[in-house]
Structure 1
Amino acid sequence: MKAVLAGTVIAEADESDLVRVEGNWYFPPAAVAPGVLVKSPTPYTCSWKGEAQYYSLQVGDELFVDGAWAYPDLPQSAAQRVGREFAGYIAFAPGVQVGP
């Protein structure tokens, strides 16, 4: 699977390494290209996944604000609900094409 933004592959991993949650593919952190993720101060808390860390995406000279997020301190109950651990995995916002 690949995540593509502005014609650039920003993440790539085997589908078996990804986790699908609520219609979003979550990529392992190591699958994301170096230098793409820029921490964002945008706050968000999910009722069952906890506090999110948002990221802007740096692709060339362009910065795509809040284009990705992760749950770094995922509650164990969330992993159990999904059936797999995905703490720190990165999901991408609409506008990022995710597919084979």
Structure 2
Amino acid sequence: MAWLILLFAGIFEVVGVLGMNQIKRKPNVKAYLLFALGGLLSFACLSYAMRSLPMGTAYAIWTGIGTVGGTLTGMFFFGESKEWRRMLFIGIVLAAAVGLKLLS
């Protein structure tokens, strides 16, 4: 169950990043609420998951999901570069996350 909660923590992290992007593009109440709600739910889920998972592993997975999710969101929804090297490093982050999961 902690792994599922950690996945949600990462997803909410991406929601918070989307809020930051919206604040940058067009600051309004909705953008600030998206940012605040994403961040709050992300930290709440991370905190809950860390009750069962080692802190280092949980934090690394959470940041990995946020990094990969934010990068892919930027690439597919906001026209950021889809260069092969970016995809390679996303794969490396994902491989590291899987490795941490296998060791935990």
Name the TM-score class by shorter chain. Answer: under 0.3
- Greater strand percent: which structure? 1
- TM-score normalised over the length of structure 2: 0.27
- TM-score normalised over the length of structure 1: 0.28
Structure index of larger Rg: 2
